[in-house]
C-alpha cells in the first residue's frame, strides 16, 4: 500500500483517483488554519505511524496499534512526554477529524504525564555575558527575547505594525493558543529596533522593484485586502536575507509565490548555543532560557505574579508560579545545619 494513499472502496473506478491520505490531512489542517509548523509535525507523525506498522492503512488499525507506536516512542526512542503527546495528538486528529472515526478506544489511549521540571534560569550577570558574545540580527533577537519575554517564534513573526515605539510596547499576535497580548518594549532596544526596521525596509523596497515583496498574511486577509501583503506595515521585522518559494499556495491565486520569509529559528538557536560555548557557560542555554530568565528576574524585582503572567501569555497563573522557586534563596530558604556549626 502507498504510505500516503487512502484505500478506494470496493468496485470503485480508478479515475478519478481519490486524494492521498496525507494530502487529505494537509487540506483539513489548512482549512482550520493550523500553523505550518503544526501541519508539518502532524503529517510527519502520521507518516511514521503508518511506516511503523508496515504501511497498513489506519482504518485497519485500532487502539492496540496506537499504543504500540506510542510505547515504541517512549521505550525504544526514549522521547520526552511532550513529544509522545504530540504524536498522540497527530494520530487522534487523523482518526477523528480526517477519517471521521469516533470510537471509544480513542479515549482509552493513555496520555503521557509530563514531569514537573524547574526551568533553567540565568543570572543577570550570565545574561549580560551571553549577550556580549552575540551581535547582528541574532544578537538583537536574543536581546528582544530577554527584554520582552517573547517566545522565539513570536519574535520572528513580529510584524512592523505591531511595534509601538510611542507607547513603548509590542503587540504579539496569534501567540500560543492563538491569543494576542501586549508586552513591554525595552528602552534600550528602541534605537536598535529602528535601525533593524531601516534595513528591513531597504530589503522590502528592493523586492518591490523586482516585482515581489508579497509577504504571507494570516488566514484570508490576502483575499479581503488584495494589496495588503505588499504594504510595509505587514512586513516582517526580521526578514530573511534570502527569498524562497512559499510551500503554501497563495490565497488569491493558488500559486506558490516567491516570498521573503522571516529569519529561521534554527539560525537563532545556533547563534545562542555558540555564544554560550564561547562564554564558557556550564548551563544548557537556548533561546527559551531567555524567556525563563525574563520572568524570574521580574519576580525577583518585586513585580506582581499576575503582571508577569500577562506579559508571558500564560492561561493559568500556576504556570507562572513555577518561576517563584528562585525567590527562596538557599533551597527554599532553609538554613543548612552544616552552616550552623
3-class state of residue 125 by DSSP: helix
Q: State the Cα–Cα distance between residues 140 and 142, nearest whole angstrom.
A: 5
> Rounded to whole angstroms, what are the CA distances from 44 to 32, 165, 248?
18, 41, 17
3-class state of residue 97 by DSSP: helix
113-139: average pLDDT: 91
Residue with cell 493513555: 110
CB neighbour list of residue 213: distance below 8 Å, 6 or more residues apart: 204, 205, 207, 230, 260
pLDDT in tens, 41-74: 999 999 999 999 999 999 888 878 888 898 888 8
pLDDT in tens, 69-104: 988 888 888 888 888 889 989 998 999 899 888 766
| pLDDT at residue 161 in the model | 96
Residue 190's closest CA among 167, 173, 161, 172?
167
Q: Whole-number mean pLDDT of the chain?
A: 86
pLDDT in tens, 147-172: 999 999 999 999 999 999 999 999 99
Residue 119 near residue 91 (C-beta atoms within 8 A): no
Quote the cell numbers at residue 171.
Answer: 503587540
Residue 118's closest CA among 275, 262, 277, 327?
327
Residue with cell 503582571: 307
Task: Label residue 254 by pLDDT band (50, 70, 90).
Answer: confident
Question: What's phi and psi for 328, nearest 5 deg?
Answer: -95, 100
- Residue 211, number of CB atoms within 10 A of its CB: 8
131-150: average pLDDT: 97
Residue with cell 494589496: 227
Residue 173 near residue 180 (C-beta atoms within 8 A): yes
Residue 145's closest CA among 41, 3, 293, 276?
293
Catalytic site positions: 151, 176, 288, 291, 314, 323
Q: State the Cα–Cα distance between residues 278 and 129, nearest whole angstrom.
A: 10
CB neighbour list of residue 195: distance below 8 Å, 6 or more residues apart: none
Residue with cell 491520505: 21
pLDDT in tens, 168-210: 999 999 888 778 999 999 999 999 999 999 999 999 999 999 9
One-character DSSP codes across 258-317: EE--BPPHHHHHHHHHHHHHHTT--S---HHHHHHHHHHHHHHTT--HHHHHHHHT-SSH
223-236: average pLDDT: 89
Q: State the Cα–Cα distance between residues 338 and 341, nearest whole angstrom.
A: 6
Amino acid at each position: 500500500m502507498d504510505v500516503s494513499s487512502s484505500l478506494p472502496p470496493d468496485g470503485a473506478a480508478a479515475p478519478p483517483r481519490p486524494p492521498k491520505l496525507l494530502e487529505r490531512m494537509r487540506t483539513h489542517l489548512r482549512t482550520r488554519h493550523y500553523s505550518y509548523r503544526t501541519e508539518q509535525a502532524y503529517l510527519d507523525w502520521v507518516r511514521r505511524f503508518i511506516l511503523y506498522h508496515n504501511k497498513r492503512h489506519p482504518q485497519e488499525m485500532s487502539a492496540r496499534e496506537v499504543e504500540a507506536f506510542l510505547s515504541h516512542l517512549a521505550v525504544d526512542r526514549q522521547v520526552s512526554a511532550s513529544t509522545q503527546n504530540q504524536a498522540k495528538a497527530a494520530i487522534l486528529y487523523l482518526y477523528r477529524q480526517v477519517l471521521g472515526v469516533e470510537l471509544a478506544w480513542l479515549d482509552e489511549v493513555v496520555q503521557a504525564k509530563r514531569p514537573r521540571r524547574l526551568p533553567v534560569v540565568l543570572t543577570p550577570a550570565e545574561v549580560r555575558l551571553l549577550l556580549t558574545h552575540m551581535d547582528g540580527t541574532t544578537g538583537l533577537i536574543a536581546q528582544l527575547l530577554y527584554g520582552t519575554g517573547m517566545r522565539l517564534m513570536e519574535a520572528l513573526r513580529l510584524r512592523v505594525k505591531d511595534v509601538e515605539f510611542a507607547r513603548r510596547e509590542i503587540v504579539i499576535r496569534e501567540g500560543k493558543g492563538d491569543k494576542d497580548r501586549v508586552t513591554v518594549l525595552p528602552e534600550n532596544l528602541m534605537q536598535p529596533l529602528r535601525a533593524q526596521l531601516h534595513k528591513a525596509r531597504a530589503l522590502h523596497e528592493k523586492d518591490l522593484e523586482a516585482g515581489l515583496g508579497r509577504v504571507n498574511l494570516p488566514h484570508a486577509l490576502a483575499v479581503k485586502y488584495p494589496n495588503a501583503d505588499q504594504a510595509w506595515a505587514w512586513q516582517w521585522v526580521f526578514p530573511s536575507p534570502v527569498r524562497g518559494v512559499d510551500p503554501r499556495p497563495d490565497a488569491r491565486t493558488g500559486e506558490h509565490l516567491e516570498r521573503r520569509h522571516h529569519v529561521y529559528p534554527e539560525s537563532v538557536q545556533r547563534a545562542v548555543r555558540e555564544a554560550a560555548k564561547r562564554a564558557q557557560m556550564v548551563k544548557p542555554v537556548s533561546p527559551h532560557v531567555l524567556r525563563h530568565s525574563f520572568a524570574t528576574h521580574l519576580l525577583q524585582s518585586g513585580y506582581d505574579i499576575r503582571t508577569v503572567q500577562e506579559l508571558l501569555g500564560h492561561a493559568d497563573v500556576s504556570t507562572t508560579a513555577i518561576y517563584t522557586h528562585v525567590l527562596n534563596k538557599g533551597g527554599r530558604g532553609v538554613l543548612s545545619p552544616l552552616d550552623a556549626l
